[in-house]
Structure 1
Amino acid sequence: MTDPRAPLVLASASPRRLDLLAQAGIRPDDVRPADIDESPQKDETPRALAHRLALEKAQAVHRSGEYTLAGDTVVALGRRMLPKAASRDEVRACLELISGRAHQVLSGIAVIAPDGRESVRVVTSRVVFKRLTPPEIERYATAGDGVGKAGGYAIQGGAAPFVRRINGSYTAIVGLPLYEAVCMLEGLGYR
């Protein structure tokens, strides 16, 4: 029997994930970022990568007797995965690729219960960007908002005006599919 009062650990250093959980009234007892290799494997699809990384992050920090929650976000144009932009130049390159196009945001989420049961899902959202002008791309890249973000942008920040439409979960695009996270936690006994 799983103890619904067991501590919850978030396997992420993302302040966005903490903020999203707080919106649902969930405050993790500990934040323990996972340190894993996030490189795609040969012939790995974006969906498979999001699934694998979320699960590996949860497994890397899980301890018996705790709930562990982990997530990972992959941005893709078809099978082509965009990086977590490490520099302003990578932000520019990502924005140039997705300008005027639809792309997928795949949000992997994994929960491990205190007794070791695992639940993993991938939530796919479709985002359509307007056609960006070179000055818009330059302003956004220079502001630095996209550095460290999958696909080189944060929908909740300065990139919000670029979004023509989304089909899917807004919170998943921000960093954690909140509806699914709450359902998965509750399904494994967390209260």
Structure 2
Amino acid sequence: MYKQTLPIILASKSPRRQELMKSMNLDFKVVLKEVDESYPKDLLPAEIAVYIAEKKAAAFADDSHENIVITADTIVAYNNEILGKPEDVTHATEMLTKLSGTNHQVYTGVSIAYGDKMHSFYDVTEVFFNPLTAEQIDFYIANFNPFDKAGAYGIQDWIGLVAVDKIIGSYTNVMGLPTEKLYKALSGF
């Protein structure tokens, strides 16, 4: 069992990650820093998620001497295309239309840093969507906030309740933080 002995910084503004950390009974504070999330174009989706998580952790090098710093990055991959956060309603509609009636992968890269040590890992979940009508997509975009979510959706939202047929892998990974792997990594860190 993981027993927290050091303060934890969660370097994420994601309310879903914060909720998951609270559910894990971890005591943490949220600290944010601006980080350039660009990445080399020749990376695979899992490598991109870890690369960005590590860039975020590197921004906290000074903070990691007294705190464990946890960073994460989630991306959605559909037919080898990376679907990030939508820029506007049209972009969100395009993304959800692509995902409708198909399957895609959700990758989350996580970095845990303390002092000069960093441990990074990723998780992947296969998500299968039922077909969505244009009316359902419009309803979701108008009533929920798809603009801060990779792939323009949150599995914990309405769309997850009606569109997700099944998943293979971690549910919390699709929310943005693979808690099962994080807990194991913290226990071994």
Aligned counterpart, 2:133: 133
1:45 and 2:44 matched: yes
SS at match of 1:61: coil
Q: What's the CA shift string for 1:85-138, capped at 9, x where partnerless?
A: 13222211110111111000001111012x321111110000000011111111
Q: How far apart, CA to CA, are the structure 1 residues paired with 2:145 and 2:130?
A: 18
Q: How far apart, CA to CA, are the structure 1 residues paired with 2:122 and 2:5?
A: 26
Give 1:5 shift: 2.4
* Structure 1 vs Structure 2 CA RMSD: 1.3
Greater helix fraction, Structure 1 or Structure 2: 2
Question: Mean alpha-carbon deviation: is it higher for 5-14 or for 127-136?
Answer: 5-14
Give 1:52 shift: 0.4
Against the structure 1 CA distance between its residues 180 and 34, is the aligned structure 2 distance closer, same or farther, given a 3 Å change threshold?
Answer: farther
Amino acid at match of 1:31: V
CA contact (8 A) 1:140 1:158 kept: yes
Q: What's the CA shift string for 1:151-188, capped at 9, x where partnerless?
A: 00000012111000000100010110001111111211
Give 1:44 shift: 2.1
Q: How far apart, CA to CA, are the structure 1 residues paired with 2:110 and 2:41?
A: 22
Question: Mean alpha-carbon deviation: is it higher for 79-88 or for 98-107?
Answer: 79-88
SS at match of 1:131: coil
Aligned counterpart, 1:116: 116
Q: How far apart, CA to CA, are the structure 2 residues paired with 1:95 and 1:111?
A: 32
Amino acid at match of 2:12: S
Amino acid at match of 2:68: Y
Amino acid at match of 2:56: K
CA contact (8 A) 2:57 2:71 kept: yes
CA contact (8 A) 1:46 1:106 kept: yes
Aligned counterpart, 1:162: 163
SS at match of 1:172: helix
Amino acid at match of 2:25: G
TM-score by length of 1: 0.91
Structure 1: 5+ residue stretches without partners:
none
Give 1:84 shift: 0.8
Aligned counterpart, 1:60: 59
Amino acid at match of 2:110: I
CA contact (8 A) 1:54 1:71 kept: yes
TM-score by length of 2: 0.92
CA contact (8 A) 1:89 1:141 kept: no
Amino acid at match of 1:9: I
